[in-house]
Amino acid sequence: MKKWLLIGFISFMMILAACGGDNGGADGGNEEGNANETAQGEELFQQNCASCHGGDLSGGTGPDLTNASDSYDQSEIVTIITEGKGSMPAQDVSEDEASQIADYVLSQ
């Protein structure tokens, strides 16, 4: 009897382990995914923006972006990147890449 109870308990635990676990990012708050997006955004920023805005976003020939979140939201930054603004020309990046750059700038 104890043997069957033990087998039943182990089987139940295996079923729970198989059914539980990763929800495939369905909660929208996947921290690892967000960190990866920010890292990609930083890399894209360094490749496309740092020469004017400084590697640390402190400015140069382009304006300081360290407080960009005070003036712009994510979609506004994407528009500036893809369409240009003032003397800044539109950048040759996809909308997804512009979004990653914007996320990085806003995270700083």
Series of mean pLDDT values for 10-residue runs along the chain (108 residues): 69 64 51 76 95 95 95 96 95 95 95
Is 9 within a domain?
no
Give the number of other Cβ atoms within 10 Å of residue 71's Cβ. Answer: 10
Total number of domains in the chain:
1
Number of H helices, E strands in the chain: 5, 0
Q: Is residue 61 part of a domain?
A: yes
pLDDT of residue 34: 72
For residue 9, the model assigns a pLDDT of: 63
Indicate whether 19 belongs to any domain. no
What is the pLDDT at residue 38? Answer: 78
Instruction: Give dist(CA 41, CA 83) in Å, integer.
Output: 18
Residue 12 lies in a domain: no
Domain that holds residue 56: 35-108
- Look at residue 105 and tell me if it is in a domain: yes
CATH code, domain with 68: 1.10.760.10
Residue 86 within any structural domain of the chain:
yes
**Which one, of 20, 22, 47, lies nearest residue 33 by Cα?**
22
